[in-house]
Structure 1
Amino acid sequence: MPHLSRRLLLQASGLSLLGLATAPPFLARAAQQVPGGERRVLVTLFLRGGADGLSLVAPVGDADYNRLRPTIALRATGERAALRLDDTFWLHPGLAALMPQWSDGTLAVVHAVGLPQAMRSHFDAQDFVETGTPGVKSTHEGYLNRVLAQLPAEPASAFRAVAIQDTLPLALAGTAPALALEALADFRLRDPQRGATFASLYAGAVDEALRTTGAEASAALARVRDDGLADMPPAHGAAYPRSPLGKRLQDIARLIRADVGLQVAATEMGGWDTHMAQGITTGHFASRARELGEALGAFVQDLGPRWSDVLVVVMTEFGRTVKENGSRGTDHGTGGAMLVLGGGVRGRRVVGPWKGLAPEHLLEGRDVPSLTDFRTVLSEALEGHLGVRSLASVFPGFQLRPEARLRLLRG
């Protein structure tokens, strides 16, 4: 039979994201539990809309910050009080659930980080981050997909790379297979009556790779159904917020705890484009920050001892302007903030070059400059946590210089 990609096979079989249903009997007979083993897992969380790094991790100790943001700046005390990290930086109170990770040294912040050139278009900036080739619009595959080519594929698992969100993100697009699920409870066959078509495709395959694909898809469906993955309750007393991000991170935790062979997981959170009425400790931004903090805090607690095998990188496409606008919001900027969490993180640090917010240090008189290339953070995560050795193939044209290293991970 002609070669079929894994994605085409799944499409032909009717796999979709429309709610949990009983798989055809042949899948139950064919499926075998795919051993996962306690492997390291990278989780990426994309804050879409350009999250304001100067509010997530605010330079409260910088007098220029208070001068440039008279109505939306956080403060050290009072109703606008933030949570102190060091003499300069304070955490938004909405992220209070992450303070235990800061205290135990498993959370680090990278400030003034972003694309190497200013790019204030959401769509272009997001694409450049997810392809890992800033300024090159002809790249069609994502950096995470290129990572998969360097990771061991055994034991085979359809859950090796998973995006828990509406669509497959560009970061995972490419030749290596990846699943996109809005939720584990939505992973099923669109029409169980079409199971015979899938069975015939699987049985008639003469290409060993295609047979492996069939087995992986069968095993994935069977595990969701037979092991009740979609109904697995949180562990260790974790309580997720009843929010989209809370549900997504809970599903990722389920896959990690179930040892289904997960290596890379991606998800996202929107709503960070705060041009108007950004708010301080209440309002739109604060509610976003609270959802983010509570969901990540529950995720860490849920994983328990597995937390030592997991690394979470939180990123966005760009930061916001230093000066608040006339609508008490912020506009598209350049340098922002990234969060790095995990059992192997050298945390309790705000890392990366930081020059302050004096006029002479701002890009074009308006932005925090990108003093750290976002690929530096991702390179250290991929190299130190997943063991990726050929960073040049993941980020073509980028070289991680020794003097630019942030030493985010232990060991």
Structure 2
Amino acid sequence: MFKYYKIKILIMVSRRGFLRSGGLALMGVGLMGGIPGFLAEAVAGEQLINPYGKRKVLVCIFQRGAMDGLMAVTPFTDEYLKAARPNLFMSAAKTGTGASLIDLDGHYGLHPSMQAFEPMFREKRLGIVHGIGSPNNTRSHFDAQDYMESGTPFNKGTASGWLNRAVGLLGHDAITPFTAVSLTSAMPRSFYGDNPTVSISNLQDFAIQMRGNPGAANMAAKSFEDLYDKTSTGLLHDTGKESFDAVKMLQKADVKNYKPANNVVYPTSALGNSLKQIAQLIKMEVGMEVAFTESNGWDTHYSQGTDNGIFARNVGDLSSSMMAFWNDLSAYQDDVTVMTMTEFGRTVHQNGTGGTDHGRASCNFILGNNVNGGLVHGKMQPLANENLEDGRDLAVTTDFRSVFSEVADRQLKVTNNRVLFPDWKGEKIGVMRA
């Protein structure tokens, strides 16, 4: 007899997505012992299939709150920026009065807290794009994030996210529910859509939620048993084998006692923990091809700091977490590209509270062996008032879709940019190697 669990399950996935994904959709928040007994028994009764093998993986990190790209990668020879930021400007000169910028090319300097990135830049495996942003000039966090994740900066009605569309353009049906995984507590806007995606808050808890867009068909069950009874003669029995196989892989893996390769130590931050779990999934070869996670706290209106403070801690965590992830991948590095994004940048001038306000363009980082690295891509004019957008902001000179599409094309072999980014007809900028 099945044990009764007083937990509701919410499935939000289209029938097409459900059938293609293998049929498992669980949200196990707060489950005692992880997977319920009946499902564990069902999984245990299946024969574990062979691993899906190595796959090309695109990992996206959203820096929520709007990162100050001018402080992360500073045009330190720009006298206008120095005048606009008397308390925030940092130099590449070795003065002995504080940490200096890491001189990348005689013009741009990397924030000293991002020193973990320097070897990758020198080895030409880290590329930077400056002046990147959205053509929509909104300075609303919510709207700008929504536009960037949907990939349609002038259409609020787009139901799908650009990464979900990328999944649909992979050239094959998802053979595992872990084709696209977000290590977040909620499904990101980038993953909304008809193609199967999964949000996992923590591998140890098996807290898994699969869903499509909010308008998709949904079904609530009073218990796991109710859900199983309703589907046991249909979807689960017909299409669920791959799902059970994948869950069995997770169940058999000792994720709690995972030991990273090369004696890597991840930061104990939320981002470090998420990237550590993404590394585990890549190494387990569960068929993942798209991964997503996020870093919060980039809205630096107050006390931004220079070589110490909020911003320094954030960029230190970002770079250290990414490099721990990269070094942990070891033999998988050729198959993985990591790309960051943020909704917009900060004002050129500092404000009266030691911070910066909502701006326009920022910068992003792309890490991988197929990246055209060792360069700061994009265009930036001197930061004189006449060159600033609206007289206050770093102008957007590179549409984010130019970079996102190029990275997706090169890494995932996704070439239908009309579907990936509707209404965009721009040019790529050469951030990836041919």
- TM-score, with length taken from structure 2: 0.87
Contact 1:24/1:195 (<8 A) preserved: no
Shift of 1:239: 0.9
Aligned to 2:385: 359
Superposition map of 1:235-274 within 5 A: 235-274=261-300
Q: Return closer, same or farther for 1:153/1:12 CA change in 2, 3 Å cut-off.
A: closer
Q: Return closer, same or farther for 1:202/1:114 CA change in 2, 3 Å cut-off.
A: same
Contact 1:36/1:155 (<8 A) preserved: no
Identity %: 35
Shift of 1:33: 3.2
Shift of 1:358: 1.5
Q: Return closer, same or farther for 1:289/1:188 CA change in 2, 3 Å cut-off.
A: closer
2:91 pairs with 1:75? yes
Aligned to 2:195: 176
Matches of 1:188 and 1:132, distance apart in 2: 28
Superposition map of 1:179-258 within 5 A: 179-187=198-206, 196-197=225-226, 199-205=228-234, 211-212=238-239, 214-258=240-284
2:422 pairs with 1:410? no
Contact 1:379/1:400 (<8 A) preserved: no
- Residue identity opposite 2:265 in structure 1: A
- Residue identity opposite 1:21 in structure 2: G
Shift of 1:215: 2.1
- TM-score, with length taken from structure 1: 0.92
Aligned to 2:10: none
Superposition map of 1:295-314 within 5 A: 295-314=321-340
Matches of 1:34 and 1:284, distance apart in 2: 46
2:63 pairs with 1:60? no
Aligned to 1:146: 165
Matches of 1:173 and 1:129, distance apart in 2: 13
Name the SS of the counterpart of 2:194 in structure 1. Answer: coil
2:304 pairs with 1:278? yes
Q: 353-362 or 297-306, which moves further after superposition?
A: 353-362
Shift of 1:34: 5.5
Matches of 1:162 and 1:189, distance apart in 2: 10
Matches of 2:194 and 2:86, distance apart in 1: 49
Q: Return closer, same or farther for 1:31/1:371 CA change in 2, 3 Å cut-off.
A: farther
Q: 214-223 or 280-289, which moves further after superposition?
A: 214-223
- Residue identity opposite 1:303 in structure 2: L
Matches of 2:16 and 2:28, distance apart in 1: 16
- Aligned partner of 1:348 among 359, 371, 374: 374
Shift of 1:38: 1.2
Flag structure 2 segments of 5+ consecutive residues without an equivalent: 1-13, 210-221
Contact 2:139/2:359 (<8 A) preserved: yes
Name the SS of the counterpart of 1:157 in structure 2. Answer: coil
Contact 1:39/1:309 (<8 A) preserved: yes
2:186 pairs with 1:160? no
Matches of 2:120 and 2:241, distance apart in 1: 39
Q: Could you give the per-residue CA deviations for residues 121-169 of structure 1, whole angstroms, max 9, x where no partner exists?
A: 0000000000000011111210111111111446711110000011110
Aligned to 1:99: 118
Q: Return closer, same or farther for 1:132/1:14 CA change in 2, 3 Å cut-off.
A: closer
Q: Return closer, same or farther for 1:42/1:189 CA change in 2, 3 Å cut-off.
A: closer
- Residue identity opposite 1:109 in structure 2: I
Shift of 1:14: 4.9
Name the SS of the counterpart of 1:236 in structure 2. Answer: helix
- Aligned partner of 1:18 among 20, 27, 30: 30
Shift of 1:186: 2.1
Contact 2:103/2:110 (<8 A) preserved: yes
2:375 pairs with 1:315? no
Matches of 1:196 and 1:287, distance apart in 2: 46
Contact 1:230/1:251 (<8 A) preserved: no
Matches of 2:109 and 2:233, distance apart in 1: 60
Q: 163-172 or 27-36, which moves further after superposition?
A: 27-36
Q: Return closer, same or farther for 1:189/1:274 CA change in 2, 3 Å cut-off.
A: closer
Matched length: 401
Aligned to 2:4: none
2:89 pairs with 1:40? no
Matches of 1:69 and 1:210, distance apart in 2: 63
Matches of 2:173 and 2:106, distance apart in 1: 47
Matches of 1:150 and 1:125, distance apart in 2: 25
Matches of 1:338 and 1:288, distance apart in 2: 14
Q: Return closer, same or farther for 1:5/1:389 CA change in 2, 3 Å cut-off.
A: closer
RMSD: 2.4
2:66 pairs with 1:50? yes
Matches of 1:6 and 1:116, distance apart in 2: 32
Contact 1:322/1:366 (<8 A) preserved: yes
Contact 2:100/2:112 (<8 A) preserved: yes
Shift of 1:7: 6.4
Q: 54-63 or 121-130, which moves further after superposition?
A: 54-63
Contact 1:165/1:268 (<8 A) preserved: yes
Matches of 2:158 and 2:432, distance apart in 1: 29
- Aligned partner of 1:114 among 133, 138, 148: 133
Shift of 1:329: 0.2
